[in-house]
């Protein structure tokens, strides 16, 4: 986890809902340098030792930031759930649909989400996020892809559909407004997850369940995604990949439901924690 004011977060390791170990003396941040130097493996010895010595702190209401520092890139996979593709009336893709999201969209899991100027169709998307653990390109197998993953987190791929679909078909236009990528509350290493391809996920707006899904309906699982992307680009340590959303997005309702200032989104994934954001109006 990373806790503290925006731009001044410190890296910690969560022990449970009430306690953590401060590791800011071991790494300046959970960033490209940290992951590239071995990442979470660097903490496997020091953290238990500090717990044994009683060097444990209680959470005291600190802000929770995104679990990683601003990445080199945020890559996103569209239409990656068979039931979501059906919801939108689009064909199941033959290979992953790729678009990008501005890295400065990254915010903490409880920060406000701001509707951009001129927006009319702002939407929600609970997604599984992949964090890359080492510099990666031209992977030969999905097994190699699995070894390149540092961990997973909850993300909300907030989207402005009018910008995405009515402004020249440029998906990144509708995905890159400020605050459009809440992440966290924590990064979970792969060894903590029994089966990443069988995780329940959900999202509510104002207490009403809108999305209920599971990673079982992914068309391309995390290992396939990382292997595939490595054939086209170099993935850097700390890069974030948003892997698609299950059905229940606002544009799938008839009539569509769009986010409004004052709305509250709550979302989560089994074992990865939960988020809560309040929607605010344009600057």
Q: Where are the domains of the chain?
A: 2-58, 74-280
Query: What digits encode the pLDDT tens for the residues 126-154?
Result: 999 999 999 999 999 999 999 999 999 99
Structure tokens at 225: 């995604």
CA dist., res. 105 & res. 112, Å (int):
12
Buried/exposed code over 68-81 (b: 16+ C-beta within 10 A; e: otherwise)? bbbbbbbbbbbbbb
User: In this predicted structure, which of 61-75, 90-104, 234-248 has the lowest mean pLDDT?
Assistant: 90-104
What dihedral angle (degrees, nearest 10) is formed by the CA atoms of 173, 282, 154, 269? -110
Structure tokens at 116: 């951009």
Query: What pLDDT, on a 0 to 100 scale, did the predictor assign at position 171?
Result: 85
Residue 155, pLDDT above cutoff 90:
yes
Q: Which residues make beta-bridge pairs with 81?
A: 218
Dihedrals φ, ψ of 22, to 5°?
-80, 125
Mean pLDDT for 93-101 is 93
Give the right CATH number for 74-280 from 3.90.850.10, 1.20.1050.10, 3.90.226.10, 3.40.50.300: 3.90.850.10
- pTM higher than the cut 0.75: yes
Of the candidates 50, 201, 39, the one whose C-alpha atom is nearest the C-alpha of residue 134 is: 39
Average pLDDT, whole number, for the chain?
95
**Using an 8 Å Cβ cutoff, are 130 and 190 in contact?**
no
């Amino acid at each position: 986890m990373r806790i503290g004011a925006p731009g001044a977060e410190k890296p910690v390791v969560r022990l449970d809902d009430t306690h953590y170990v401060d590791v800011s003396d071991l790494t300046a941040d959970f960033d490209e340098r940290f992951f590239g130097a071995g990442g979470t493996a660097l903490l496997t010895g020091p953290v238990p030792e500090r717990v044994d010595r009683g060097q444990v702190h209680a959470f005291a209401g600190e802000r929770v930031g995104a679990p990683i520092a601003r990445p080199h890139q945020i890559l996103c996979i569209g239409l990656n759930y068979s039931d979501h593709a059906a919801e939108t009336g689009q064909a199941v893709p033959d290979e992953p649909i790729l678009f990008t999201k501005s890295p400065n969209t990254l915010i903490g899991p409880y920060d406000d989400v701001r509707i951009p100027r001129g927006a009319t169709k702002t939407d929600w998307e609970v997604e599984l996020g992949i964090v890359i653990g080492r510099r990666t390109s031209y992977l030969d197998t999905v097994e190699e892809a699995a070894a390149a993953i540092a961990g997973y987190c909850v993300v909300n791929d907030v989207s402005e559909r009018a910008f995405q679909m009515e402004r020249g078909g440029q998906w990144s236009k509708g995905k890159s407004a400020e605050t459009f990528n809440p992440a966290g509350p924590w990064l979970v290493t792969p060894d903590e997850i029994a089966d990443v391809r069988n995780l329940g996920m959900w999202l509510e707006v104002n207490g009403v369940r809108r999305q209920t899904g599971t990673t079982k309906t992914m068309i391309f699982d995390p290992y396939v995604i990382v292997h595939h992307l490595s054939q086209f680009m170099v993935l850097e340590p700390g890069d974030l990949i948003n892997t698609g959303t299950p059905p229940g997005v606002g544009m799938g309702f008839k009539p569509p439901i769009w986010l409004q200032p004052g709305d509250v989104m709550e979302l989560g994934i089994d074992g990865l924690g939960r988020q809560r954001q309040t929607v605010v109006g344009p600057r």
